[in-house]
Each structure stands twice: as C-alpha cells, then as structure tokens.
Amino acid sequence: MSQSPQPPAAPQAPNSSAADRLRWDEGLTKTRRGHAILHSPLRLLIAAGAIIMIVGSFLPWAQGFLGLLPVQFGGFDRASDGLILAVFGIAVLFVVVRIPDFFDAVEGPRRWAPLFVGVGCLGLWLVGWQQSLITIESWERDYGHGSIAAGFWITGIGAGILAVTGTYASLRYREGQKTDATALLRRPRRTDAGPILAWVLGIAGLLLGVWAALAIFPPISVAAPMVFMGGIGMILGAYLGRSLGATLGGTKDRGPTSLGRS
C-alpha cells in the first residue's frame, strides 16, 4: 500500500533564552543625524559655557542710583564687550552643534582654536570688569553709588568654563598626533621641571601682561595692547621657565620642544 506524501514540517524557531529575549537592540539608541551632543561631555560643557556667557552678556553688569534715579551699565554699552562675547558664544554654539569633529583635529589651527577663543573670552570679560568699575566711579563722582551686578558674574562663569574646557580640548592627547603627551601616571622626574615651569611662568607672564595693559591704557583702546603685551609676557615667561627648569633639572636647553618632551 502506498503512503500518501506528508506536508513538510514547518521550520522551528531557534531556541532563545530569556537573556536573548531581553537583550537591548543597539540600533534603537543610534541617532539619525550624526552624533548627539549629549554623547560628548566635552562638547556639552563647551555649549553650556557658551550659553551661560550669552545670557550674562544681555544682563546688567553694574547697577546703581544717581539720587533716586536708577542707572545701570551693560555689556552692550561703551566698547560693547558683551556684544563681542555674545557673538563669540553664538559662533562656539554653531561649531559645537554643526561641526562635531572640529575638536578632534590632531594638528594645525583647528586644534588650538578652542584654547585661544576661551582665553580671549576671559580677557574680554576682564576688560568689561574694568569698564564696569570706571562706570561706577563716574556715578560716585556725580554723588551716586553702584555695584557690580549678577549679570557680570554670570558672564564670567561662562567665559571661565570656555577657557578651561577650551584649554583642555587643545592640550589633551589625540591618536595620531606627532608629539607625545606627558605621562601623568608616573613618578615625577627632575627633567619635568622644564616643561612644567615653562607652562606656569608662561601663564603668569600672560596674566601680568594683560594686567599691565589694563593699568596703562584706557578701556576704549586696551584690546590691541592687551593682546600684544599678553603675548610678549607669555613668550618671555615660558622662555624663563624653560631655562630655569633646565638648570634645576640638570639638563641643557636644546631649544623649543613640546610639552611632552623635556
């Protein structure tokens, strides 16, 4: 007797454990357009500093009274330092959001741009501090009084965040860079005195040059002298620190080298 053909068996589903059924699909967490800003703490901090600085630029920097008349001084008055800071903040936000790989440059101007922009914003904030004090003094000469307002300190917080994060973004180690970063997880050596003192005295010379420019020149024309004197102070301080470090470390000065080489 012939047997009737049987239908093919339906394919069985592969055995899956409970762990496989609960495993998260990584595709669900991928963004549709590039990298999300929340995935990069550095970009998030830079954006936060820029937003804080922009908000502070629109607030009063000094407030007071001339008799019974309230008066105020803002970042858009006099030399408009607040306006310049707001423009810088908007430009930084554009770069953070639209050019996410800008902070990953290995060499060249793009690598050092965050440092110079951050330090420049901090310098403009210091110029605004001088102008605020001059405005308060003018109120006092007219038998009034005043004080620094909260908007000035908010702007300073944003500029400070940009200076710190911009410096870190420029100095951090990158894969493929030509110079070696200084190894931090080791015992200090005498040869480390040169690079460390070069950085410390270079920054001290920069601050001293900026302070001297603020003390000598009027606020309306202090920007260019501040950049020039700050740059000269930084160069002289770095050279002095390197020479002193070479003497203390017992090594000969072989000319300019990177921070990661003594």
- The 10s digit of each residue's pLDDT in 59-100 is 999 999 988 889 999 888 877 788 889 999 999 999 888 887
The mean per-residue pLDDT over the stretch 207-229 comes to 75
Predicted confidence at residue 24, as pLDDT, reads 42
Dihedral of the alpha carbons of 174, 180, 185, 188, in degrees to the nearest 10: -150
**Contact predicate 245/194, CB 8 Å:** yes
Q: Model's pTM, two decimal places?
A: 0.59
Mean pLDDT of the chain: 75
**Contact predicate 96/50, CB 8 Å:** yes
Strands, sheet with 69-74, edge to edge from the N-terminal-most edge strand: 69-74, 60-66, 145-148
Beta bridge partners, 25, equal none
Local structure of 151: helix, strand or coil: helix
Predicted confidence at residue 107, as pLDDT, reads 73
The ranges assigned to domains in the chain are 37-172, 189-251
Local structure of 67: helix, strand or coil: coil
Task: Tell me the per-residue pLDDT of 134-153, one tens digit each, with 9 for 90 and over.
Answer: 888 888 888 888 999 999 99
Q: How far apart are CA 50 and CA 135, in angstroms?
A: 26
Predicted confidence at residue 244, as pLDDT, reads 81
Predicted confidence at residue 219, as pLDDT, reads 64
Q: Is the pLDDT of residue 8 over 80?
A: no
Task: Tell me the per-residue pLDDT of 150-194, one tens digit each, with 9 for 90 and over.
Answer: 999 999 999 999 988 888 888 776 665 555 444 444 566 666 677
CATH (residue range 37-172): 1.20.140
Q: How far apart are CA 215 and CA 229, in angstroms?
A: 12
Q: How far apart are CA 44 and CA 46, in angstroms?
A: 5
Q: How far apart are CA 233 and CA 210, in angstroms?
A: 8
